[in-house]
Amino acid sequence: MEIDELRRRIDEIDSAILRLLNERATVVLEVGRLKAAQNLDYHVPQREEEIYTRLTRENAGPFPPGAIWPVFREVMSACLSLEHPLRVAYLGPRGTFCHLASMQRFGLSAEFLAMRSITDTFAEVEKGNADFGVVPVENSTEGAVSPTLDTFVESNLLICGEVVVEAALHLLSKVGQLSEVRQIYSHPHALGESRHWLEAHLPNVPAVEASSTSAAAEMAASEPGAAAIASELSATLYGLTVLRRRIEDHPNNFTRFLVIGKKAVSPTLADKTSVLFSIKDRVGALYRMLKPFAERQINLTKIESRPVKKKVWEYVFFVDLQGHATEPRVREALAELREECVFLKVLGSYPQARPAAEG
């Protein structure tokens, strides 16, 4: 078969895909009308997970299995915007890894609201100005994000999902050659994570701290000879060229983000539950905390402690465990744990994150 004939066949398939997308959008609009009449939620995370899981299972190839999720995420994001455009608050500014995580989770058709702080992100959701929020909770090299954990102590919002993003750092600029770089901007963490590369390749170029990697990219876009260490998304947003890719000193640097909202998420095939609690100060307290989970073979994927600000030498614990809070064994373990606690709060059960995407 000649290449021109194959291309005509591709054009026919693309047109058929477009017709089906419009057919899908028409059905989604009807679903939206029914949801509105019955006062149902427009966005149902577990329904999305069911679609992803089913399509991955049905895929016979050669279309890459890993491409199913990003392709259909955008399809669902666009269709959902016809019903009710989602408003998503995130720790800004634009171009940060939190912005990238938000787009990775909700697709490009959502409305993204950049917030100045983590507490502002929580507040925007609590006030109803945003449907969901996205906040960082831990980094594979820097550890826990304390402001997020501390805000959960006072907030009534629930965790509705999680996103894991590979925090890949690139050298961005408007200059064409490395030798033309006269100054480098970035967030202190990014500068630290790229220190060895900078010493080896740009030892005499001054590095200046910025409030965020995105702010650094904005400065690099306006200042001749300047460069920024930031995400590839920042390069796109600020019209910069990627001079060098992956300049971080330690590969496999991931950041985990939480999706926060007001409503609980129903079970899926692979869930995680997050809880926080304060235990009674007595001998064997930590053992009593772990015992209900160990006896039921429930895997704890994270344990983090934070000091109680109102009391000296007292702590609250944040724990992530595998399973949904409505599962009998998880429900029983939490009930037993509650008896040993001063207080216990279930922060939410939600689908486990999909494989991380490079930023």
* Domain harbouring 266, CATH code: 3.30.70.260
The answer as to whether 324 is a domain residue is yes
Spatial CA neighbour of 333 closest among 283, 298, 286, 285: 298
**Cα–Cα distance measured from residue 167 to residue 189, given in angstroms and rounded to the nearest whole number:** 11
**Residue 65 and residue 50 in one domain:** yes
Q: Are 134 and 101 in contact (CB under 8 A)?
A: yes
Domain end marker among 68, 83, 98 = 83
* Three-class SS state of 146: helix
d(CA 265, CA 132): 13
pTM of the complete model:
0.82
DSSP string, 184-228: EEE-HHHHHHTHHHHHHH-TTS-EEE-SSHHHHHHHHHHSTTEEE
Is 257 part of the annotated catalytic residue set? yes
pLDDT of residue 43: 78
In the chain (359 residues long), the average pLDDT of successive 10-residue segments reads 90 96 93 84 79 90 89 90 88 88 91 94 96 90 82 92 90 91 90 90 92 90 93 90 90 89 89 90 78 93 79 75 95 91 91 64
Say if residue 268 is in the same domain as residue 329: yes
CA 146 to chain CA centroid, nearest Å: 17
Residue 27 lies in a domain: yes
- What range does the domain containing 150 cover? 87-167+254-259
- The pLDDT score that the predictor gives to residue 356 is 52
| CATH code of the domain in which 184 resides | 3.40.190.10
Look at residue 37 in the predicted model and tell me its pLDDT: 86
| Identified catalytic residue from 97, 132, 257, 293 | 257
> Could you tell me if residue 193 is inside a domain?
yes
Q: Which two tokens stand for residue 196?
A: 């060895």
pLDDT score for 115: 94
Q: State the virtual CA torsion across 240, 241, 243, 249 in degrees, nearest 10.
A: 50
Task: Identify whether 21 is part of a domain.
Answer: yes
Report DSSP state, residue 358: E
Is 63 among the catalytic positions? no
Number of domains the chain contains: 4
Q: Check 96, 213, 255, 273 and give the catalytic one.
A: 255
